[in-house]
Amino acid sequence: MLRIFKQYRPNQVARYVKSYFRGRLFITGVGAFEFDCGRLLPPKKQDTKALNVLSEVNREIQLLSAKAV
């Protein structure tokens, strides 16, 4: 399943990744990502912006998991 986000909102992306657990997504202006086990995986083309997005979204996922407990 591929989801396209037209605008980058870390919380929205984190909720999507956490709920679907495995798949692919695309963020306009940033690039494509894959996720597995409820976490974003590093993109094939590693640039600074994509890696910053990766860390920010994974941090949001951790915060969502902490709130759920």
Q: Rounded to an integer, what distance in angstroms lies between the CA atom of residue 32 and that of residue 21?
A: 16
Question: Rounded mean pLDDT of 18-43?
Answer: 93
41/33 Cα distance (integer angstroms):
7
Helix (H, G, I), strand (E, B) or coil at 58: helix
For residue 46, what pLDDT band results from cuts at 50, 70 and 90?
A: confident
pLDDT above 90 for 43 = no
Instruction: Give the residue, 67 or 23, on which the prediction is more confident.
Output: 23
CATH of domain 2-67: 3.30.1910.10
Whole-structure pTM value? 0.90
